[in-house]
């Protein structure tokens, strides 16, 4: 399987379907192990922690750039020294490969 962070998101519509449980697990295993699948398996979430507000906001700007480039936008909960990122694809009513691609891109950006 190709590295997720090298892939590009595709346009999805209500005609497309959410990933199946085995597909979600396969993609989840390719991410940082701190990404969590919610109990209904509809979202993936990761809480990033930082030393201060400046670092948190710098991270938020990285996420915003990835979201803009991929045209796939997460829900963000921003606090002084942490940011919780949650992905789900509303058009398919659950998780799509786009969610995992963007999560992988964030992980890759964090290691730079």
Spans of all domains in the chain: 27-110
What average pLDDT score do residues 39-57 get?
Answer: 96
State yes or no: pLDDT of 26 exceeds 60. yes
Say which CATH architecture domain 27-110 belongs to. Answer: 2-Layer Sandwich (3.30)
What average pLDDT score do residues 57-74 get?
Answer: 98
Say what the pTM is: 0.93
Give the mean pLDDT of the chain: 94
> Residue 13's pLDDT band (boundaries 50, 70, 90)?
confident
pLDDT in tens, 75-108: 999 999 999 999 999 999 999 999 999 999 999 9
Q: Quick one: tokens of 38? A: 């919610």
Give, to the nearest 10 degrees, the angle between helix 21-28 and helix 97-110: 10
């Amino acid at each position: 399987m190709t590295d997720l962070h090298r892939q590009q998101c595709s346009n999805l519509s209500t005609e497309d379907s959410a990933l199946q449980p085995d597909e979600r697990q396969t993609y989840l295993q390719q991410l940082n192990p701190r990404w969590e699948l919610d109990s209904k398996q509809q979202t993936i979430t990761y809480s990033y922690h930082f030393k201060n507000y400046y670092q948190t906001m710098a991270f938020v700007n990285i996420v915003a750039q990835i979201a803009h480039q991929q045209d796939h936008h997460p829900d963000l909960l921003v606090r002084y020294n942490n940011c919780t990122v949650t992905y789900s694809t509303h058009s398919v009513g659950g998780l799509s490969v786009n969610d995992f691609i963007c999560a992988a891109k964030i992980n890759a950006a964090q290691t730079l």
